């Protein structure tokens, strides 16, 4: 009887599946070796600038408003002193579209510079959490030794406490973008029992940050982040990427191998001495010499590591460097000019122009007329029909404004507005109930009567008209019928 050939799942995993996975499918922990080259110090400055900016922004004010406040429950977004209401969604769409197009342009030009230099995941992992980890656990070799004792050694527990505190600080800073610093400060001084929902949100955000930087780490870039997967669409052969110059590096060999293979001439060998310094420093665990990979976040650590080796072997820097696939293939000078780098800016200018025009034409207030009350209308004792209506005003200016509500309607139609004029503070929304009474003969056969609301402000910068259909009795219907 012939032996059965093994099924695919019985054959075991292929030799190389993921840089962060062992052959048996378990997690391979990445313990990158720090490479302190010139790019590292530049990234360090950028990272700390970004981290401090992130903490400061909720405290900064412009036009007496937070620089950025994303008030989701009220559906109001304050950006650089200007508040956008739910009715300004299209402006936010223009803004988001221009940001998205800028990301396209930026990636086409500079590859994943965002990932390596500015993404919060990289910035906090490499310049805050990882240095603290090195402080508690020592070099990658010492960390690997600690791995033998599991994750709950005293040193590691102490590190987790520090990580948890940092996660709490970051979660508070993050929440400040959504609720404002004053509200956050007030909650921090009250018992969590008094604001359980927000406390729960804070705990969840803290937990997510702690989980991310303690356990999930590079998996966020490799598995969860969609940007890495968009790379193949956004990048082209002329985009700047961190790449290994195979023309210069190959054939690669260790010094010992080179000696053994004499009389092969020294110039027959490439500059790569197979020291693996570029691999052990990589925070996603890949080998840049295998070419452009989705896992590469362009952090430049392999550039610094390789430059240090080149110094030691007396070769010029740049075996791994910022270059493009086209340059490596054709040996031509790096040129960034191609149709898409003109096309994207044109689109961005177009969208920003639309945004600018829309902003300039935006009225100083937004008026919304809504039907109010449970019943569509009420028949009053004198036989007249009363409609209950909500007048909602969003003041887009930074100053308090007083709005007067009036009607353009047939004779006999009356406006009863307890809150008229309506006072609305700068960048706030206020609504007031009004009643419109009218003789039943004025309604048409469908039981409708068209009127126009006119709203003006005290500063004469706003005047809006809204047509509104009052509801009333259908022809022939008796007042007792609903």
Evaluate whether 86 touches 10 at the Cβ level (below 8 Å).
no
Instruction: Please identify which residue in 166, 209, 299, 455 interacts with ligand SF4, judged by CB under 6 A.
Output: 299
**Binding residue for ligand SF4, selected from 181, 298, 327, 384, defined by CB under 6 A:** 298
* Cβ at position 151, least distance to ligand SF4 in Å: 25
Please tell me the count of residues contacting ligand SF4 according to CB under 6 A.
Answer: 29
Q: CA angle, corner 190, sides to 187 and 196, nearest 5? A: 70
Q: Choose the stretch contacting ligand SF4; rule: CB under 6 A; options: 78-86, 269-277, 378-386, 449-457.
A: 269-277
Cα separation values, 451 from 170, 172, 404, 456, Å: 53, 50, 17, 17
Structure tokens at 212: 């991310």
The single residue among 276, 325, 404, 431 that binds ligand SF4, judged by CB under 6 A, is 276
Sign of CA dihedral 392, 394, 400, 402: negative
Binding of ligand SF4 by 409 (CB under 6 A):
no
The answer to whether residue 63 forms part of the interface with ligand SF4 (CB under 6 A) is no
Site string for ligand SF4, 189-228 (x = CB under 6 A): ----------------------------------------
Does position 428 bind ligand SF4 by CB under 6 A?
no
Q: CA dist 193 to 169, 179, 199, 212, 377, Å?
A: 20, 18, 8, 27, 43
Region label for 324, one of left (φ > 0), alpha (ψ between -120 and 50) or beta (otherwise):
beta
Q: How many CB atoms lie within 10 A of CB 71?
A: 16
Q: Starting at the earlier edge strand, list the strands of the sheet with 68-71.
A: 68-71, 76-79, 82-84
Q: Which two tokens stand for residue 276?
A: 């693996």
320 close to 288: Cβ distance less than 8 angstroms: yes
In the complex with ligand SF4, the residue whose CB is nearer, 306 or 328, is: 306
Question: Residues of 250-289 as b/e, b for ≥16 C-beta within 10 angstroms?
Answer: eebbeeeebeeeeeeeeeebbbbbbbebbbbbbbbbbebb
Phi, psi of 427 (to 5 degrees): 60, 30
Q: Does 272 interact with ligand SF4 (rule: CB under 6 A)? A: yes
Residue 274 touches ligand SF4, criterion: CB under 6 A: yes
Which CB, 249 or 432, lies closer to ligand SF4? Answer: 249
Of 223-242, which residues contact ligand SF4 (CB under 6 A)? 242
Is residue 297 a contact point for ligand SF4 (CB under 6 A)?
yes
Q: Which stretch binds ligand SF4 (CB under 6 A): 124-132, 209-217, 277-285, 390-398?
A: 277-285
Write down the residue that tokens 């499918």 correspond to.
25
CB of 35 to ligand SF4, least distance (A): 8
Q: Which of 273, 355, 417, 429 binds ligand SF4 (CB under 6 A)?
A: 273
Rounded Cα distance between 438 and 411, Å, is: 9
Using the structure block, give the residue that is written with the tokens 């930074």. Answer: 398
Asked whether position 306 contacts ligand SF4 by CB under 6 A, the answer is yes
Residue 456-475 contact track with ligand SF4, rule CB under 6 A, x = bound: --------------------
- Is residue 295 within 8 Å of residue 228, measured between CB atoms? yes
Closest to 305 (Cα-Cα) out of 327, 275, 347: 275
Contact call for residue 300 and ligand SF4 (CB under 6 A): yes
Interface stretch with ligand SF4, choices 292-300, 395-403, 440-448, 454-462 (CB under 6 A) = 292-300
Tell how strand 365-371 and strand 385-395 pair up.
Answer: antiparallel
Task: Rule CB under 6 A: choose which of 83, 284, 324, 397 binds ligand SF4.
Answer: 284
Applying CB under 6 A, the span of 101-109, 193-201, 222-230, 304-312 interacting with ligand SF4 comes to 304-312
* Contact residue for ligand SF4 among 119, 173, 302, 355 (CB under 6 A): 302
What minimum distance in Å lies between the beta carbon of 76 and ligand SF4?
Answer: 39
Task: Supply the minimum distance, in Å, between the C-beta of residue 159 and ligand SF4.
Answer: 24
What distance in Å separates the CA atoms of residue 279 and residue 381, rounded to the nearest whole number? 87
Position 243 contacts ligand SF4 (CB under 6 A): no
Which residues are at the interface with ligand SF4 (CB under 6 A)? Answer: 242, 244, 249, 272-278, 281-284, 286, 288-289, 296-302, 305-306, 309, 319-320
């Amino acid at each position: 009887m012939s032996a059965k050939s093994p099924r695919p799942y019985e054959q075991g995993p292929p030799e190389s599946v993921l840089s962060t996975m062992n052959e048996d499918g378990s997690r391979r922990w990445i313990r990158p070796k720090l490479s302190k080259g010139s790019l590292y110090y530049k990234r360090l400055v950028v990272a700390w600038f970004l981290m401090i900016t992130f903490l400061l922004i909720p405290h900064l004010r412009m036009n007496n408003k937070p620089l950025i406040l994303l008030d989701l429950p009220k559906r109001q977004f304050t950006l650089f002193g200007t508040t956008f209401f739910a009715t300004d969604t299209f402006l936010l769409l223009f803004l988001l579209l221009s940001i998205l197009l800028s990301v396209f342009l930026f990636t086409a030009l500079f590859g994943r510079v965002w990932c390596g230099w500015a993404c919060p995941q990289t910035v906090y992992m490499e310049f805050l959490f990882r240095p603290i980890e090195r402080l508690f656990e020592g070099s990658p070799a010492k960390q690997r030794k600690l791995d033998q004792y599991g994750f709950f050694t005293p040193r590691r527990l102490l590190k987790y406490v520090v990580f948890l505190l940092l996660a709490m600080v970051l979660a508070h800073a993050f929440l400040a973008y959504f609720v404002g610093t004053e509200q956050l400060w007030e909650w921090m001084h009250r018992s969590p029992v008094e604001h359980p929902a927000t406390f729960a949100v804070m705990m969840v955000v803290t937990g997510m940050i702690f989980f991310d930087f303690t356990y999930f780490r590079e998996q966020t870039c490799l598995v969860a982040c969609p940007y890495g997967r968009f790379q193949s669409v956004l990048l082209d052969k002329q985009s700047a990427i961190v790449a290994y110059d195979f023309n210069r590096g190959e054939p690669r060999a260790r010094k010992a191998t080179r000696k053994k293979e004499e009389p092969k001439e020294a110039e027959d060998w490439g500059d790569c001495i197979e020291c693996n310094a570029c691999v052990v420093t990589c925070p996603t665990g890949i080998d840049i010499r295998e070419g452009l990979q989705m896992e590469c976040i362009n952090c430049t650590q392999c550039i610094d590591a390789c430059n240090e080796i080149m110094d030691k072997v007396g070769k010029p820097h740049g075996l791994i460097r910022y270059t493009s696939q086209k340059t490596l293939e054709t040996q031509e000078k790096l040129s960034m000019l191609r149709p898409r780098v003109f096309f994207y800016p044109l689109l961005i200018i177009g969208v920003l122009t639309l945004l600018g025009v829309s902003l300039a034409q935006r009225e100083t207030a937004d008026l919304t007329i809504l039907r109010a009350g449970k019943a569509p209308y009420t028949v009053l004792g004198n036989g007249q029909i009363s409609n209950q209506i909500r007048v909602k005003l969003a003041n887009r200016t930074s100053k308090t404004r007083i709005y007067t509500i009036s009607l353009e309607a047939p004779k006999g139609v009356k406006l009863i507005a307890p809150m008229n004029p309506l006072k609305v503070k700068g960048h706030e929304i206020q609504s007031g109930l009004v009643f419109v009474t009218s003789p039943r003969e004025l309604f048409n056969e469908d039981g409708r009567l068209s009127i126009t609301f006119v709203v003006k402000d005290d500063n004469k910068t706003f005047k809006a008209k809204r047509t509104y259909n009052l509801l009333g009795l259908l022809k022939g219907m008796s007042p007792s019928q609903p």
